[in-house]
Every structure is written in structure tokens, then in C-alpha cells.
Structure 1
Amino acid sequence: MTSLLLLAASSTACAVWLWTGPTVAATRLHRLTSTSRVFDWRSPRRLLTRSTPARRADAWRHASIELCHALSAELSAGRTPGEALTKALAAVELPDPEAAKPILAAARDGGDVAAALLSAAPQQGGEGLRRLAACWQVGVTAGAGLSALVERVAMTSRAAQAHRQDVAAQLAGPRATASMLAALPVLGLLMAGALNMRPLGFLFGSLPGAACLLSGVALDACGLWWTNRMAARAQPPG
């Protein structure tokens, strides 16, 4: 009886916390407007659920935006394209410092900067560098204003990144709900065990129980897979 009361109290506390806790929009707004680094209650979950390639892709996108802004500022100051790119690369920290060496060499020696940018751009998160390479090629061959083109690339990349973050914030709620619903069968087993119903003996000790266990696990896995698939399709490409 005591274990049942403790389980009910903990379930009630979790429900109250989920109901009264901060929303996704409020948490994201506080993170954007706060000047101090505070602990984010979603950080452990984000570190567990978000893959390393996704974090590297975001880092490359942010670095590309900063590189475009720095390059545009150097070009507006009257520097040549090679000098401007050299100083912009020195001011921006790329996720892979080794990738900047061929670009620096091409900018200093008058080489093919567009090809160096394309080779340095990763498959995921390198959209900004590929756009910058296209702008560089147009500016060199057609003589167009490179500063205006680079600034336009920076604005487009920043808008795309903001849209991607908004979509991810909107999908955080459904993903959390799906994960919580997937964990409810475990809570049901704990409650049944607290009532001395011996659910594990039924599930693992009889043929109908094994069938119920396999069906439940399969349906639970299919639900998680379908939720993640819908969330992935809702996110913008790239």
C-alpha cells in the first residue's frame, strides 16, 4: 500500500510539473533574451536525442553566417576580395580549422577560391559555403558587386536558420509527448506490480502474455518510429 501511495504521489508530481512547467516558446524566448548562461531543463534530453552530425551541421551554418557578415564588412571597408576573405577567416572560428587552410591558401595566392569553398563545405550544414562559392564565382566572372551578394547570402542563411530553429522548437512538444506516451506502459507495469498482480509473471510465463508483450513492444516501437518520421518530414531540408 505504501509503494502504491508513493507511486501515485510521484505520478501526480510529474503531471503537475508537466502542466505548469515552461512552454517551448517561453523557454526559447528566455534563452534568446538572457545574457547569462543558465541551466536549460531540456539540455540533458537534447544531448541524448540530438545526434552529433546535427550539432556539427548547426555549427557549420552559424560559422558560415558569421563568415559572410565578416566578409561583407571587410569588402565594404574597401579591401580586395582576397584580403577581405583572409581577414574574415581569421575572425571566424570554423568547426573544422583544417578546412580553412585551402581557402586561405587560395585567397592569398590568387587561386580558385570558389573551388576551395566547395571542397571545404560539408554535406550537412555547408549550404552557406556553397552559396558563398557561387557568389564568389559570379563576382569574379561577371564583375558583380561581391559585397552585396555576400550580404544577401548572409541574410538568406540567417532567415533559413531561424526558420529551422522555429520548426525544431514547435516539434519539441510533440516529440516529448510521444516519448512520454511510449513510457506509459512501464508505468502501468509498476502500478500493477504495486498491486501484487505480478504482470511480469504473466508476460514472461505464459503464451498469451508473451503475445501481449511482443504486440505491445511492436506497437510502441512503431508509434515512436512514425512520430519521428513525421517530425523529420516536417523539418526543412538540409
Structure 2
Amino acid sequence: MTTTMTITSEVHNFFIAQLPRVVSGARRLYGSFSRRSYSSIERLPNELLVSIFQMVVQGKHNRCHATFSPLTVSHVCCRWRHLALITGSLWTSLTLTYPASAPQLSRTATWLYRSRSYPLDIFLDFRDPFWDWQELSHSFGWQEMEGIMRILLVHVQRWRSFELLVDTWSPIFTFLWYTRRVQSAPLLETLSLSRCNAYLASKGQIFQPAALRQPMPLFGGLLFDRLQDVFLVGVHLDWSNSSLRNLSEL
């Protein structure tokens, strides 16, 4: 047991420090081993390799790295690819950023399929650094958010964390609108919705767009089983009908 733990620790540390080099050199090295001379990694059983893969992915605090790490692992060799593709827990980090392109949506659909039934961590950042601060001129509006919600909402019962960063109100309104009839989100622990627009809180500022000023309850007033952390910035809620209880942080 001690020997196994030592091997796991050593290989894990090696991966964390040199994963890019492992990927670039693995294809060349993989075909050069004779039957009598295997690398220490090749001698590891599948279960241990999968555990190492999981530690690599889970050890990535950067969301983009966590999203792409399983793809990197799956491109090393045939054996690693097979193990990565049948290990759903590697593909549970979903990241979409502005602008939400077709390749991003295609990748998200692939990750949703590969993650099987595992809990999902979703990070959406649709802030435009060149936005002109005009509410109606933003290129990411309710229609773009609607397309994304249709992809993600099918898997709402697997949501574990959901974070949305936008400049304007309409994408958040679309989120509230589409989730208003959700019957259950049993795994949701963290929810963060941020309208990252400093002017919305300015003195004398009128709510924009006026047509969407009617507040909506969070998830239609759904009672959550596990929700503990809620972060809201510039979010116009119907608090009287939003069922938030037993929170650790609001």
C-alpha cells in the first residue's frame, strides 16, 4: 500500500510540473518501448492511471485549464484516450466565454455527453471588454443566452455550481426566465449571477431595459436541497417569492 501511494504521489507531481512535456513527448516514446522495457507509467494499472488523471484535472484551479486538461490527457496515446473517454468525472468542467462561438458550443455538447451522469461545474463569462456601455448595443443578448440555456438546462439536475458573468441585464433575465419552471436542482451548491456594470448602481440611474424591469423569483421559487452559496451582483429579484434558506453565504 505504501509503495502504491508513493508511486501515485511521484507520478502526480510529475504530471503537474511537466504535463506539457509529457504530452509532446509521449507519442514519440510510447512506440519505442520493447516488451522487456516499459516506462514506470506504462506499468501502472488502469485504475491508478485514472486516479492520476482525476488529480490532474481537479488540481487545476484555473477554470480554462480544468476544462481542457482532460482533452490534453486524451491526446497522449490510445490507452490514455480510451481511459479518459470512459471516465466521466474528467469532463465535468464547462467553460464558455465571449463570444460564444460555434466551436465552443460544440465542445460543450461533447463534454456534456462524456461527463455522463456526473455533477457539472459551469462557468460562463460573456463580458465584452470593448462594450460601449449602451445596454441595447451589446452583441451578447437574450437570443445568444437562450441558445446556451437550451443546451445546459437539459442537464440542470446535474448542476453543482453555476457562475454567470455578463455586462447587461437581458442574459440574466433569460437565465431567470428559463429556470423559472425547473422542478428540481438536487445537486446545486453554488450559484453566482453578476451583472458587471458599474453604472447600474449610479445615483439616479433608471433600470434598463425598462421592458424587463419586472422582478422574477430565483428558479421560480424552487426550494433547494443543497444550495449553500449565492452571489448576486446587479440582479433584480422578486425576493418575496425566492426560496433561499440554510445558506452559508449570500
Q: Shorter-chain TM-score: which interval?
A: under 0.3
In the superposition, the TM-score normalised over structure 1's length comes to 0.27
Which has a greater percent of helix? 1
In the superposition, the TM-score normalised over structure 2's length comes to 0.26
Bigger RCO of structures 1 and 2 (CA < 8 A, at least 6 apart): 1
Which has a greater percent of strand? 2
